[in-house]
Structure 1
């Protein structure tokens, strides 16, 4: 098998130059060639984030170029372009739009997207009005026809076992406790019986973004959610996964309030809460073992967000009528 080339800044610059050639030629004819163009250095390109190269690059101040590094990523990117068009009418916030797409190497795709204005959920806190935006996001995802999403190739994902995750979190909590990072007794709130009660309900699958991290939420300075990025990992599956993602990204109280506004009852909200809490402990233990300072800092933030207290904390006595308790 031929080894795929590794894209560099020069690769990106040449690709963008070819995409913008017609526009540049027009500027040249009109005598409006930019200083950068006259110097022949091409458009300003830089990695979108530390470690984001070789896959994601800022192009100037208004575009982002994403390169699929392998065949699997190419399949996801082609599906993502179609999925974004499907979900856009259902959401009140921006979904990235592609101004150009094609192949940057044999069988490997790219998309040049417009930048969604705003900062990330890691930079700005979500306000009360922003929580309503998150509720509209969860509502919109639930309204996307599942059959249409599957026609586009969006896969189905089986619900995770909360009990298996609980056991993994209990083991991880001991490591975190030894490092004085977490009180392992806090996990005693989630018993084996409670985890069983919070199993995913049959027939509840919806389109889920499945990666609602702070980096994928575009948040303005006033705390409004202005856009959602990163649709490549979307699946048809457990809506509690998106509630869990929001718990890790913006805090459990905001996530549960948003899910409640979106019409979700106590069971999926609590399931999402405990998915997030168990995940946060497991990820923190992995970061402690790995010794990556940047990853450790992010893991601590997600742990703090997930373990923020909410009004509804009892999970040991759920009954069918409890779905209206929130």
Structure 2
């Protein structure tokens, strides 16, 4: 297999100058990736553009699909989706996209206000309105709902290891039982377009707390909407995530499912880092664990009955 070239600052400058027709050499600097190693190399270009380079053929396929998907979802969403100023190949078979920068800061840096929660609610509502068949025609894959029971068992093992490391209190009042897990299964026929990576670095938040844009559409799938509720729990905290999902029309079941997906994930991921099985940044995972385990009113006022209905406790 031919080794893919490694992009350098000179490579990026030459490409950008050909695209923007600027006489002066543009200021370029790499963006520190917060996503998977398979993602495209990302560079800031001045203060108005972002260049993303696909490092391999698989990433190139995903990037082309992302460009088409962004055009599809844009009319349905109340927040900005990045627009490509130019795209093509930066090396044989390897694609690039030069995107206009969405104004605002990272969701990891700015607090989302109450009005921003309404923006998130409209985001979830918009994703639900995107035609599934059109997204599937673009190549967006379907993803089966995760087994919450399998995740619960893994999280219980992780919680014991974290308790030994003084990272988690296993005596917390919140606890996911096997009986509750059975009632929090994904409901059939509820597949929608799921962003699947609503991490803080993918939320563009203004200084006033409004959510202005959503980045990072390469991991989108057709599947369980609770995954995006879980992503918001990690990014803005469980109370805000559940309030946004409720405003979007989701009931107690998907809200609680998303909450527990997030909580179990944080335990497993943090335990993996402490055991040396992951190189994810430890401070970020601790912050996400704290956000996901914030108590919510819904847990205290809602009971899932054995007959499958929802009602006050």
Asked if 1:321 corresponds to 2:309, the answer is yes
Alignment of 1:1-326 (within 5 A): 1-21=1-21, 24=22, 37=24, 42-49=25-32, 55-186=41-172, 189-290=175-276, 295-313=281-299, 317-318=304-305, 319-322=307-310
Change (3 A) 1:238 1:167: same
Structure 2: runs of 5 or more not aligned: none
**Counterpart contact for 1:266–1:325, Cα < 8 Å:** no
| Unpaired runs of at least 5, structure 1 | 25-32
182-191 vs 142-151, which moves further: 182-191
Find the counterpart in structure 2 of residue 29 from structure 1: none
TM-score (norm 2): 0.94
The answer (yes or no) to whether the contact 2:303–2:312 under 8 Å persists in 1 is no
| Equivalent residues, number | 308
**Structure 1 position 298, deviation (Å):** 0.3
CA shift digits 1:82-139 (9 cap, x unpaired):
0000000001110000000000011010000000000011000100000000000000
Distance 1:176 1:198, change over 3 A: same
| RMSD (CA atoms) | 2.0
Q: Provide the C-alpha distance between the structure 1 equivalents of 2:280 and 2:88, rounded to a whole number of angstroms.
A: 34
Higher helix content, 1 or 2 = 1
2: CA distance, partners of 1:304 / 1:125:
15
Matches of 1:254 and 1:104, distance apart in 2: 41
Q: CA deviation at 1:50?
A: 6.3
TM-score normalised over the length of structure 1: 0.90
